[in-house]
Structure 1
Amino acid sequence: MKQILFAGVIGLFLTLVGTPLLIKLLARKGYGQYIRDDGPREHASKRGTPTMGGIAFIFATVAAYFLAKVITSYLEPDPNVDARPTFSGLLVLGLMVGMGLVGFLDDYIKIVKRRSLGLRAKAKMAGQLIVGIAFAVLALQFADNRGNTPASTKLSFITDFGWTIGPVLFVIWALFMILAMSNGVNLTDGLDGLATGASVLVFGAYTFIGVWQFQESCANAQTLTNPGACYEVRDPLDLAVVASALMGACLGFLWWNTSPAKIFMGDTGSLALGGVLAGLAICSRTELLMAILGGLFVLITMSVVIQVGSFRLTGKRVFRMAPLQHHFELKGWSEVLVVVRFWIIQGICVIVGLGLFYAGWAADK
């Protein structure tokens, strides 16, 4: 459990200290944010704010994860817990870094090369597909001594259920989750601190889920009061370490990203966060629960789908502007008001999701 605490604290410290250094570097280079002309007028003042801030929390998360391993291994070793990196943890981190790299290339071309659309759509999609397929294929390897691989070929809600869908369909399903969550976070990242704060709440939920799954793991069935309610997850404690590092790193980044933002995460950050959220859901066997835990991302994505669908079918728009947060801005809500109320919605989604997670465990007792 010490790993979780160390990972969160180190991630928080690194982004609190490192982000202002990144802000100075990006400002010196002139790597500022492009602002749409058809958006709320208040956003015009944000033009030129340093972007690609996702670099800060990606680096901080990876560093916090490995530093937590080193500290707990050598300074205060726990004989009951294996402090070595696990395949599940490394795969989720690799997915985050890979998606972040695709986003970085997109940001770099938009800002440095002055090409407003960034990576061409086919190139961006190809990058996401390569990273997603690599994750999905590798996640079905590396079985432990109980035969559990980081991912399962069964669908899951709070645990696996139903029939095995096979490796090919699993790869397609994993790609769908990765792309959906990446786009969801990307669409949400339109107001100062909105996507970052919402992500902090979800990572907090996954820290709790990982700890609970570790305590109720089927690997410890002989010591459980109800072995029938145990979890077959390969590395739940290490997933909690990753989630804690992410929570701390995003919380430290939020200090600089909240209104008025000194830096934006850019596609570098939003694609990385969406990818790692999908990775945590897949490896913790909570794939469909993610739609509830990350309810704000789903809601905002659906607002775009509804807007586009309605306009194409009827020629009319449902919202004044999509994504949804801009609709409320155009209705007269201040940016801070929209962000705080959307954080409240995300908090409710996390509470409901964790309630369903616990209820599922209690029902099996």
Structure 2
Amino acid sequence: MRQILFSAMIALAVSISLTPLLIKLFATRRVGQEIRADGPASHQAKRGTPTMGGIAILVGIWAGYLGSHLIGMHDTESPSASGLLVLGLATALGIVGFLDDSIKLRKRRNLGLTATGKYVGQLGAAVIFGVLALRFPDSTGLTPASRHLSYVRDYPMVTFGIVLFLVLVCFLVVAWSNAVNITDGLDGLAAGSISCALGAYMIITFWQYTNACTTTPEVGCYNVRDPLDLGVICAAGVGACIGFLWWNAPPAKIFMGDTGSLALGGLLAGLSITTRTELLMAVVGALFCAEILSVLLQIVVFRSTGNRLFKMAPFHHHFELSDWPETTVIIRFWLLAGIAAAVGLMLFYGEYLAAVG
């Protein structure tokens, strides 16, 4: 447990210290966020706020993860295959987001990469992750990912061929990265909500570690390759997001940008695959699912009927336009994210009780 706590502490310290340096750097260079012209009128005052704060989140996560290894407080001698693959996926998507943010800032517009360019980056990262995740077996033959569909553990009766598995990975990576990206529309909303989801997965991975089939081959044990290392990543993610949130809370002094939102979405996707909990992640991250679903529903209803289902999508803007103060929307959405994480934990533990009972 101490390595998980230490990882969170390092990530928090790095993120909370690096973020104001980025604020000062971007403010000096007059590099700021462009705001959608069709967005809520109150958001126009945010034009020029420094962005790409996701750099601090990514650096904090890597620092927390590697720090727990380098100072000898981790039970494993070196970073695991699962841990490096998940962080590699998050970093690759962070680079895609960085390119998107850079184009926006350079051309001083709210549109960066084209949709095609962004999808190419996301899908390329997903395919590489998917191929590598089926390699690197440990001494028991476990690989970071499996070709089975999973809820709390693998369903042996649902097995994918390599092509279908890669399709599933691509879907999860694109869906989660875009869901978090869409949620990142209010000060602190994405950072606070992600902290809830990663906090839940920190508990889930630690429970998988203490009940791993490799060390505790009992009824209800878990066949996950590197659960403790994944728990360290979750802890680093929580610490880095909270450190960033100190400066990103309303009124935000910096935005995470696509650099942070795509990376954090990739982190959720990678964790769901390597912990064998793809379907459970949809419960833990239900807020993000609801956000991206609101956009899809808005498009479908508008094209079908010519009417809008929400005043504006994603639906956090609907409540803003319904005269909810921005901070009220943010805090209530944080509460919803926390409730979703708690429900996910209850389902996870309930499945364990059912398995051992």
After the TM superposition, which residues 14-163 of structure 1 pair with which residues of structure 2 at under 5 Å, given as runs? 14-71=14-71, 73=72, 81-114=75-108, 116-161=110-155, 162-163=157-158
Mapped partners of 1:109, 1:39: distance in 2: 20
Q: Name 1:356's counterpart in structure 2.
A: 347
Q: Name 1:304's counterpart in structure 2.
A: 295
For 1:348, give the aligned amino acid. Answer: I
Mapped partners of 1:159, 1:297: distance in 2: 22
- Which of 212, 227, 230 aligns to 1:239? It is 230
Q: Name 2:164's counterpart in structure 1.
A: 169
**How far is the alpha carbon of 1:114 from its aligned partner?**
3.1
**How far is the alpha carbon of 1:115 from its aligned partner?**
5.1
1:219 counterpart SS class? coil
2:149 counterpart SS class? strand
Mapped partners of 1:111, 1:82: distance in 2: 42
For 2:22, give the aligned amino acid. Answer: L
Mapped partners of 1:115, 1:352: distance in 2: 40
**How far is the alpha carbon of 1:127 from its aligned partner?**
1.0
- Which of 268, 272, 275 aligns to 2:266? It is 275
- Which ranges of structure 1 fall in alignment gaps of 5 or more residues? none
Mapped partners of 1:345, 1:221: distance in 2: 35
Deviation track 1:78-136 (CA, whole Å, cap 9, x = no partner) reads 7xx32420000000000010000000000001112335421122221111111111001
Mapped partners of 1:62, 1:282: distance in 2: 20
Deviation track 1:51-80 (CA, whole Å, cap 9, x = no partner) reads 011001101111111111111x2xx5x7xx
Deviation track 1:130-155 (CA, whole Å, cap 9, x = no partner) reads 11110011000001111110001000
More divergent stretch after superposition (110-119 vs 249-258): 110-119
For 2:78, give the aligned amino acid. Answer: R
TM-score (norm 2): 0.98
Q: Name 1:179's counterpart in structure 2.
A: 174
Mapped partners of 1:37, 1:172: distance in 2: 35
After the TM superposition, which residues 322-337 of structure 1 pair with which residues of structure 2 at under 5 Å, given as runs? 322-337=313-328
For 2:105, give the aligned amino acid. Answer: I
- Which ranges of structure 2 fall in alignment gaps of 5 or more residues? none
For 1:22, give the aligned amino acid. Answer: L
Mapped partners of 1:164, 1:38: distance in 2: 45
Q: Name 1:221's counterpart in structure 2.
A: 216
After the TM superposition, which residues 248-263 of structure 1 pair with which residues of structure 2 at under 5 Å, given as runs? 248-263=239-254
Mapped partners of 1:44, 1:119: distance in 2: 22
Mapped partners of 1:320, 1:114: distance in 2: 27
Deviation track 1:203-237 (CA, whole Å, cap 9, x = no partner) reads 10111011000000000135xxxx12000000000
TM-score (norm 1): 0.95
